[in-house]
Amino acid sequence: MLASSVQRSKPTPRPSQARNALIRRTVVVVLVLLALTLVTISFRSPTAGALHDMQGAGSTVLRPFQVAATRVAQPFRDAYDYVDSLANARAENKKLKRQNADLRTSALIAAAKLAKYPDYKKLLQLEQGQTFPADFRAINVGVISFPSGPFTHTLTIARGSTSGIRKSSPVVSGGGLVGIVSNVFPHTAIVTLINAPNNFVAARDLHTRVRGGIEPSPAGGGTLILSEVAKQQRVEEGDAIVTDGTHNARYRDLYPYGIPIGRVSSVGVTDTATFLQVQVQPFANLGSLDAVGVLVPKKQNR
Partner 1 sequence: MTLVDGVKAAALLFVAAIAQVSVFSQLHVFGAVPDVLLVSLVAIALLRGSIAGAVGGFLAGLVVDTATLGTMGLTSLVLTVSGYWIGRYGETTGRDRAHAPFLSIAVVTVLYEVGLLVVHFVLGESAPAGAVVRSLVPAIVLNLIFTAPLYALVRRLLRSGEREELTAEVQLLG
254 is a site residue for partner 1 (CB under 8 A): no
22 is a site residue for partner 1 (CB under 8 A): no
Are 31 and 40 spatial neighbours (Cβ–Cβ below 8 Å)? no
C-beta of 78: minimal distance to partner 1 in Å? Answer: 12
Q: What is the dihedral of CA 283, 286, 291, 296, to 10 degrees?
A: 70
**Of the ranges 40-48, 233-241, 244-252, 287-295, which one interacts with partner 1 (CB under 8 A)?**
40-48
Are 157 and 116 spatial neighbours (Cβ–Cβ below 8 Å)? no
Cα distances (Å, whole numbers) of residue 131 to 83, 201, 260, 272 = 71, 17, 8, 37
SS (H, E, C) 35-83: HHHHHHHHHHCCCCCHHHHHHHHHHHHHHHHHHHHHHHHHHHHHHHHHH
Residue 107 CA, distance from chain mean position: 12
**Of the ranges 19-27, 86-94, 184-192, 209-217, which one interacts with partner 1 (CB under 8 A)?**
19-27
C-beta of 30: minimal distance to partner 1 in Å? Answer: 9
Q: Quick one: which of 19, 22, 53, 80 contacts partner 1 (CB under 8 A)?
A: 80
DSSP 103: H
168 is a site residue for partner 1 (CB under 8 A): no
d(CA 120, CA 110): 15
Cα distances (Å, whole numbers) of residue 86 to 74, 99, 147, 193, 272 = 18, 20, 52, 59, 87
Contacts (Cβ under 8 Å, ≥6 apart) of 297: 135, 136
Q: Quick one: which of 18, 22, 37, 95 contacts partner 1 (CB under 8 A)?
A: 37
C-beta of 99: minimal distance to partner 1 in Å? Answer: 24
Q: Interface residues for partner 1 in 103-142 (CB under 8 A)?
A: none
Is the Cβ of residue 51 or residue 124 nearer to partner 1 in the bound state?
A: 51
H or E element: which one contains 182? strand 177-184
247 is a site residue for partner 1 (CB under 8 A): no
Is the Cβ of residue 29 or residue 134 nearer to partner 1 in the bound state?
A: 29
87 is a site residue for partner 1 (CB under 8 A): no
Is the Cβ of residue 77 or residue 247 nearer to partner 1 in the bound state?
A: 77
Are 175 and 284 spatial neighbours (Cβ–Cβ below 8 Å)? yes
C-beta of 48: minimal distance to partner 1 in Å? Answer: 13
267 is a site residue for partner 1 (CB under 8 A): no
Q: Quick one: which of 18, 38, 110, 144 contacts partner 1 (CB under 8 A)?
A: 38
- CB count within 10 Å of CB 69 equals 11
Q: Interface residues for partner 1 in 41-70 (CB under 8 A)?
A: 41-43, 46, 51, 55-56, 58-59, 62, 65-67, 69-70
Is the Cβ of residue 58 or residue 129 nearer to partner 1 in the bound state?
A: 58
Q: Quick one: which of 22, 27, 79, 134 contacts partner 1 (CB under 8 A)?
A: 27
Enumerate binding residues for partner 1 (CB under 8 A). 23-24, 27-28, 31-32, 34-43, 46, 51, 55-56, 58-59, 62, 65-67, 69-70, 73, 77, 80
